[in-house]
Structure 1
């Protein structure tokens, strides 16, 4: 089975349109969205409408959670005073332009989705979260201590955990050696961002998870991930920011992938 996962569109309609054109060429069997449909650009309603029109199972991102409740707090971790001030402009602008129907949809999004597979009579639990199983806005960066990451996954009962929020893709295989049975390997997968990458690559990103009939937690090679990057019209998205009241810094971040 080939499953596509995407996240962190952040109201970037040109990126979302390009994502759908790309993923439709990949022969996937299912598709899921891990949230943050809105914020930082001018098309939150259009992005929400496209996700709804396609009937894509979607969880709430921290920005979706805030806007769904008309909050002035997006749950974002800004590092500088300038970032905080820019963030205030973004969430105020998004709250102003999001329509009632689209806001109500954001409010209904689930916090998590769990996919349970029964392969060769052995269960495989795939957990979809936005930040982490503990908090919608927790950042799980690639350098997270292995014991900490394992503990988070074990407590959540996740063999495979997919998440976004940091906008920086990676795949870590975490080994848990069982003294009285087969080894148990877990996969932590950050799926990156469709509409606001922060890894120095301006192209949009998503992942395709491969699960076959022989997939097993006892073999770390039996679960594989393809990291997909695709081109989109970055300038259209950046100029839309510049033509709005949103900070021009958001346009530059789109151009630089930062």
Structure 2
């Protein structure tokens, strides 16, 4: 019950943070974002199709910086779905000073190929920017969190339980470096450590094509130290997409 209350408190506090900022903080309200899309389609002797899409929005409002992310991945080979993942997340950062902030976030992921109907994560804690000079950025976040995972029917029978949940230690490291005026390297690590270890790493390079349009190459690795029986611990994803910033 305590863990459920913790998850509910974190999840409910996140959207209210934006409204609180709107009510009590005066100043310019600015939006920025980026949209990412990649697709493959083949017909004839081989019928395959795949789509990767992502949109990220950032809203600066006084001392608050709110981030919203939505992602989707879908792949079909010979009329058989071979990959499907949907993700949505929101995070609010309250700036304490130029280098420190308090964060609170929640997200939801659906990936039927992991053996789970869905996975929900929430966390809150402290963030710090170690480097932020316009060329390089290095920041880290750490705090408590909560994970709830609902197993699909087949996995629930195999595992003998309908769900998994755990209080975790949540940590994030973000690094980015401008290689040149037109290209940037980014590295992100996310870990949630409780009854098991969940981790995600994304390495990417973006190169500007023209104006606000760029090409992005990314390698994503997901790790689960205790997967559902019959599933792999590690998933990898390699993408080449177009990225539009606005």
More strand, by proportion? 2
Q: TM-score, normalised by structure 2?
A: 0.31
After TM superposition, the score normalised by the length of structure 1 is 0.30
Question: Which structure carries more helix by proportion?
Answer: 1
Greater relative contact order structure (CA < 8 Å, 6+ sep): 1
